[in-house]
Homo-oligomer: A and B are copies of this chain.
Amino acid sequence: MGKNNMKEVKEITNMDVDFAQWFTDVCTKAELIDYSSIKGLYIYRPYGYAIWENIQKILDERFKETGHENVYLPMLIPESLLKKEEDHVEGFAPECAWVTYGGSNKLEERYCIRPTSETLFCEHYKNIIHSYNDLPKLYNQWCSVLRWEKTARPFLRHREFLWQEGHTMHATSEDAVAETHQMLNIYADFMENVLAMPVIKGRKTEKEKFKGAEETYTVECMMHDRKALQAGTSHYFGDGFAKAFDIMYSGKDNQLHYPHQTSWGVSTRLIGGIIMTHGDNNGLILPPKIAPVQAVVIPVAQHKEGVIDAADELVSRLKKAGVRVQIDTTDHSFGWKAAQYEMKGVPLRVEIGPRDISNGECCICRRDTGEKQTINLDILEATVLKELDNIHAALFERALENRKKHTKVCQTLDEVKNFMESEGGFAKTMWCGEPDCELKMKEEAGVTSRCIPLEQEQVSDVCVCCGKPAKKSIYWGVAY
């Protein structure tokens, strides 16, 4: 990189010096986010929102392919409705923002802005589920929710954030459990094959599960700083909410039954995950499948005759090939532009100047590795498409390597403690299943349970904490 772009790049804190500050720098300098005057309520800027739109488009297609329908339910929940399921209200009431006035009139009952919509869906389901013919109901909602948390960080912890929440009702427990797993698998597949983020699929412990759920399944990812990100969850509720809300259907047997319920969600937190999985000291690196701009064409010596025309020609060829492509013909220097699109994580930069034109060539530069290749224009589309695939694969490999390198099988609490204090990462151990041991791990080693992986592996015979016989393997880590 030339001197010109050093100035721009310097503005990002080095990630090895201060990872948290590096993250915030990327969020603002890559123009993903801006602050509003209310803490924890952020502005999703066009570039950040476009990433979310690409995520939405792909996930929404997968939800619809599996029979789900989108709906939109109100943003307000009457306090009495929220209180109908005991565990649920205990979990969410402390984080509710309450509406108490409509215009100048005090409301008779206060309403909270939805922190999640289980109660609203149950109220609606009670109206529309009567017979086994009405099941399953497979609904999803794209919306924002609000949780009045004390701390806030862009993408990772907003008070208001964008998400999708699936809410489904099934005739039998088996159907609901199958749905819970199906959606977990859709999330895992999406994260790995679209976002290039390797995941561990697992079950949450009693302590970490969603309030009101019987089981919570999760996909856990390791970030570049070796902390864990819970990237998506899928809950099985049994018939607890159905009982609390008195939802019943008449079965083929002409008897009344309670339906079984699930919910599942991912949020704009995924964008935080993308940044912290793939980014580097030059800024963001976007996985090609959700990058708003997959390739940027930068003309070299653009004042010379024919250069901009030749660059435009590349743009229209790549557009035709289905590539999301942009050109930059502003007055900024080439160096500034190069640094700018590196910061914004555009996967490929295509350069073309007078010499390239006379050689019938252009130069293609990869954001993830910095590798440059000069290619004949004949193979432009094929090369760009191939390199986008290569970048996806390389990003995934690098993230997987990072996770493997920083996952350690530990036999004792001391070993976990030493591991977390020295390098940190995921500690994989056996666990007896006792909440007391889970608590002790938190108190003494500073870790929380991430998940009991679906792919179990007997890494010892005894619990890492109490030494008693143990049959479950579990991951521990420090979470965002």
Contact = CB atoms under 8 A, between A and B. Distances in A.
Interface of A: 34, 36-38, 41-46, 49-50, 52-53, 69-76, 78, 81, 93-104, 110-111, 113, 120, 123-124, 127-128, 139, 143-144, 146, 148, 160, 162
Given A98-B100, A101-B98, A73 B43 contact: yes
Given A37-B123, A38-B78, A44 B69 contact: no
A188 B222 CA distance: 50
B76 A124 contact: no
A45 B71 contact: yes
Given A36-B74, A111-B38, A46 B103 contact: no
Contacts of A124: 34, 36, 43
A326 B139 CA distance: 19
A41 B81 CA distance: 14
Contact of A34 (B38, B96, B128): B128
A470 to B, nearest CB: 38
Given A99-B97, A103-B96, A120-B36, A76 B127 contact: no
B69 A50 contact: yes
Residue from A45, A99, A162 whose CB has the most chain B CB atoms within 10 Å: A99
A110 B160 CA distance: 16
A76 B39 CA distance: 11
Contacts of A98: 99-102
Given A36-B123, A127-B34, A99 B74 contact: no
Copies of the protein in its oligomer:
2
Given A99-B113, A146-B75, A148-B102, A70 B53 contact: yes
Nearest to A70: B49
A110 B102 CA distance: 12
Contacts of A104: 94
Nearest to A36: B74
Given A49-B70, A98-B100, A160 B76 contact: yes
Contact of A74 (B38, B45, B72): B38
5 contacts: A37-B78, A75-B113, A97-B103, A99-B113, A102-B148
A39 to B, nearest CB: 10
Nearest to A80: B37
A67 to B, nearest CB: 11
Contacts of A50: 69-70
A49 to B, nearest CB: 5
A74 B111 contact: no
Contacts of A38: 74, 76, 78, 111
Contacts of A36: 73-74, 120, 123-124
Contact of A75 (B72, B78, B103, B144): B144
Nearest to A47: B69
Given A71-B44, A74-B160, A76-B41, A102 B97 contact: yes
Contacts of A75: 41, 75, 113, 144, 146, 160
Contacts of A49: 69-72
Contacts of A111: 38, 97
A277 to B, nearest CB: 23
A7 to B, nearest CB: 18
A124 B52 CA distance: 20
Sort A-B residue pairs by CB-CB distance and give the 4 closest, nearest first.
A41-B74, A46-B69, A102-B148, A98-B101
A124 B35 CA distance: 8
Contacts of A101: 96-98, 100, 110
Contacts of A127: 34
A102 B102 CA distance: 17
Contacts of A146: 75-76
